[in-house]
Amino acid sequence: MIQTERMKRVLENRQNIKPIIEAIMLCGCQNMPLRGHHDWKRIHVNDNVQNNQGHFREIIRYRAQGDDVLRSILKSERTVKYLSNTSQNAIIDSCNSILLSKVVASINKAKCFAVLVDETSDISGMELVSLCLRYVDLDKLELHEDFLQFIPTNDTTGKGLANSILENLSAFGVDLIYLRVQGYDGAAAIRVYKRT
């Protein structure tokens, strides 16, 4: 009896969070930022004159107009609605893990890949390495070039960048014995570094 009630609650929570995840994925696929200037306020489903709360919250508000379950969640007094930036980041991290594991599986299946690296800095001045991998999807015989991650780095020497790239590829689960080609654009320090 308790187990049945728990399963019912689990299924209900999955149903409740599904439109939230789909809205976050839509924003990600369209390269749209989630947050706006007023994204801490309560979402009022039928209020079309409120200040823009950002793409994510506006998609949720629009979708709730035709989704009774979502509308009831937004109108309820419950505190957990999965709309906070903390919840958004947790969902984004989960999506990232799933996508990364799929890409890594395809790369390892191809048994041959190229690493493409570019170095840049963000608005705060933090050095970032853009890590992309190029490989052939053997099932479709298609060339893929997939972005994996931005990797923050403090060591911009050739040795430091090489170590960071290899450590991160290993951490992602990429089998380094299949690395065949390296390409560097903007990461000049690594072009001259030869690992011994």
Structure tokens at 41: 């306020």
How far is it, in rounded angstroms, from Cα 58 to Cα 162?
Answer: 42
Q: What is the pLDDT along the chain (196 residues), one digit of tens a residue?
A: 678 888 998 898 888 899 999 999 999 989 898 887 666 666 766 666 566 778 888 899 889 888 888 888 888 877 677 888 888 999 999 999 999 999 999 999 999 999 999 888 778 888 888 999 999 998 899 999 999 999 998 887 888 888 999 999 999 999 999 999 888 875 555 555 555 5
pLDDT for position 187: 52
What is the distance of C-alpha 184 from the center of its chain? Answer: 23
pLDDT for position 40: 66
pLDDT for position 102: 94
Assign 196 to helix, strand or coil.
Answer: coil
First and final C-alpha spacing in the chain: 63
pLDDT for position 194: 54
Indicate whether this model's pTM tops 0.85. Answer: no
What is the length of the chain? 196
How do the domains of the chain map onto residue ranges? 2-83, 99-191
* Helix orientation angle between 85-110 and 2-29, rounded to the nearest 10 degrees: 80
pLDDT for position 35: 83
pLDDT for position 177: 95
pLDDT for position 193: 52
Order the strands of the 179-185 sheet from edge to edge: 142-152, 127-137, 113-121, 179-185
How far is it, in rounded angstroms, from Cα 176 to Cα 67?
Answer: 47
How far is it, in rounded angstroms, from Cα 190 to Cα 167?
Answer: 15
Q: Which helix (H) or strand (E) holds 47?
A: none
